[in-house]
């Protein structure tokens, strides 16, 4: 099997892993795991006061998702750049 075929299958598997829960648990809220942990702490230790709060918080969900998209895009860009250079090497350099 060629490299790209192998990798395509692996990536499709990842997509499947991410998509299947949306099918299986349609009623689920899909909240963040950290939020659930926070709820549990508040529930079991109602008198605990967080003694420090975040210095900066994104102003809205939109801005947060902007930062997310930027993060993924830039990270993917660096990876693509490095792998692109690597795979463009002359054939005799390939091991």
End-to-end CA distance of the chain: 18
Query: Which one among 29, 47, 62, 92 touches other proteins, defined by CB under 8 A?
Result: 29
CB of 48 to other proteins, least distance (A): 8
HSE-CB of 51 using CA atoms within 13 angstroms: 1
CB of 94 to other proteins, least distance (A): 6
Is 24 a binder of other proteins (CB under 8 A)? yes
Q: Is there binding between residue 61 and other proteins (CB under 8 A)? A: no
60 touches 68 (CB < 8 A) = no
Residue whose CB is less far from other proteins, 56 or 62: 56
**53 makes contact with other proteins (CB under 8 A):** yes
DSSP-derived secondary structure letter, 51: S
48 and 41 in contact (C-beta within 8 Å)? yes
């Amino acid at each position: 099997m060629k490299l790209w075929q192998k990798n395509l299958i692996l990536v499709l598997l990842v997509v499947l892993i991410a998509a299947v829960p949306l099918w299986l648990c349609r009623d689920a809220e899909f909240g963040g795991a950290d939020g659930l942990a926070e709820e549990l702490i508040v529930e079991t230790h109602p008198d605990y006061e967080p003694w420090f709060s975040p210095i900066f918080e994104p102003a809205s969900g939109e801005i947060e998702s902007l930062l997310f998209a930027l993060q993924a895009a830039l990270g993917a860009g660096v990876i693509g750049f490095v792998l692109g250079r690597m795979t463009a090497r002359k054939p005799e350099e390939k091991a």
